[in-house]
Structure 1
Amino acid sequence: MKIWIGVISIGLLLMVGCSGEERSPLETSVYNAEDDKIGTATLTEQPGGVQVKLKVEGIEPGMHAVHIHEFPKCDPPDFKTAGNHFNPLSKDHGLMNATGAHAGDMPNVEADASGMIDAELMLPEAKLKEDQMSLLRKEGTSIVIHSGPDDGMSQPAGNSGERIACGKITLNADEDETSDPTEPDKKQEGN
């Protein structure tokens, strides 16, 4: 009996260990207020947290806040269904706040003159594996781009303006087969 319990325990540990690998990297599509796909966010678990590679187009040139929000809901046009910032430890908002920051707070990104954001960010407290800090806990979370920059201090969201783009972070997020406007069209390349 003890042997069977040991074998089952080892099997469960192996399954849990493998489940983290299946979650990383995870690519999610990002949509604008008109529900058009404008790019992707690729999340990869690393020893220092979760790396976020954000590549989107069609954004007003200038600085923009990017946050992880608490629900995997991106109902246009205002994306309020994404809820508040991902904040499982109930901290104050802001990367410059001595008592912050939310686990979903990230540095501002810049859209270039053509409206392209191509940035790499880190979420040092986040995980993709099962954990209190997992971006995939419960149903998942979302990544939201705002119309303005985050001031790093103001509560509850850094005075960052309207939500202008959103992507659901879920286990099946990478099943979206909508073409990515930031990548060359594969059909046209073959001609």
Structure 2
Amino acid sequence: MKSSSVIRALGLPALALMVAGPVTATTPSDMVQANLMTADGKEAGTATFTQTLHGVVISVDLKNLTPGPHGLHLHEKGMCAPDFKAAGGHFNPLDAEHGFKSEGGYHVGDLPNIDVLADGTAKAEIFVPQINVAGPDNGRYPYTLSDADGTAVMIHAGADDYMAMASSGDRMACGVVVPPAK
């Protein structure tokens, strides 16, 4: 991911996280992971969700993807099978419009695009202030990834233009966010 993309989409706190290095959880309930698969069944890497004092840092380590920019979103249901459409729409507990550039947006599940390198790999860290990994909320980060129907992380075939819902195209890779052990 290009640093400028993260800064424009999320502001200065995202830059501080990128510079600070890897984020570590303090307890097992502070971290969850999703193993992503492509539509043709190849491993596509992992997304690790680490709780911080002010939200969640999502660390993606991806592979076997087509080079270029791709939309990255959290989806409302923790299901990828029988097809990626089982994940439903974007995680949107505020019933907002889609996109960082929309006046009535954005979805809580709208994330910055990721840039996949020529070798099919990508790594990025993204800060999401409104979510938590374990629930129930404590008012600081009210929307949990571990609700009754779970959450999925989705990579789309094209880049999100941060306005039009369909701009990022088909669903290319999906992973179920596995709730933490209780």
Short-chain TM bin? 0.7 to 0.9
Q: Which has the larger strand fraction?
A: 2
Q: How far is the alpha carbon of 1:50 from its aligned partner?
A: 1.1
Which stretch shifts more, 82-91 or 119-128? 119-128
**CA distance in 1: counterparts of 2:95 and 2:85, whole angstroms:** 20
User: Whose Rg is larger?
Assistant: 1
Q: TM-score, normalised by structure 2?
A: 0.77
Corresponding residue to 1:93 among 76, 92, 98: 98
In structure 1, the residue matched to 2:10 is: none
The question of whether the paired residues in 1 share the 8 Å contact of 2:70 and 2:156 is answered with: yes
Q: Which runs of 4+ in 1 moved over 4 A?
A: none
In structure 1, the residue matched to 2:178 is: 170
In structure 1, the residue matched to 2:160 is: 150
Any stretches of 5+ residues in structure 1 without a counterpart? Answer: 1-19, 174-191
* Residues 37-52 of structure 1 mapped to structure 2, 5 A cutoff: 37-52=43-58
**CA distance in 2: counterparts of 1:151 and 1:139, whole angstroms:** 28
What letter corresponds to residue 69 of structure 1 in structure 2?
Answer: H
What letter corresponds to residue 54 of structure 1 in structure 2?
Answer: V
**CA distance in 2: counterparts of 1:23 and 1:158, whole angstroms:** 34
**CA distance in 2: counterparts of 1:59 and 1:22, whole angstroms:** 29
What letter corresponds to residue 105 of structure 1 in structure 2?
Answer: D
In structure 1, the residue matched to 2:80 is: 74
The question of whether the paired residues in 2 share the 8 Å contact of 1:144 and 1:165 is answered with: yes
Which stretch shifts more, 57-66 or 125-134? 125-134
In structure 2, the residue matched to 1:141 is: 151
Q: How far is the alpha carbon of 1:149 from its aligned partner?
A: 0.5
Q: Secondary structure at the match of 1:108?
A: strand
Q: Secondary structure at the match of 1:23?
A: helix
Corresponding residue to 1:107 among 99, 104, 112: 112
Count of residue pairs brought into register by the alignment: 151
Answering whether residue 29 of structure 2 is matched by residue 23 of structure 1, we say yes
Q: Percent identity?
A: 37
**CA distance in 1: counterparts of 2:30 and 2:168, whole angstroms:** 29
- Post-superposition CA distance 1:31-79 (Å, at most 9, x none): 1112222211110011231111011111111000000000011125x50
What letter corresponds to residue 134 of structure 1 in structure 2?
Answer: T
**CA distance in 2: counterparts of 1:24 and 1:142, whole angstroms:** 18
Q: TM-score, normalised by structure 1?
A: 0.74
Q: How far is the alpha carbon of 1:122 from its aligned partner?
A: 1.7
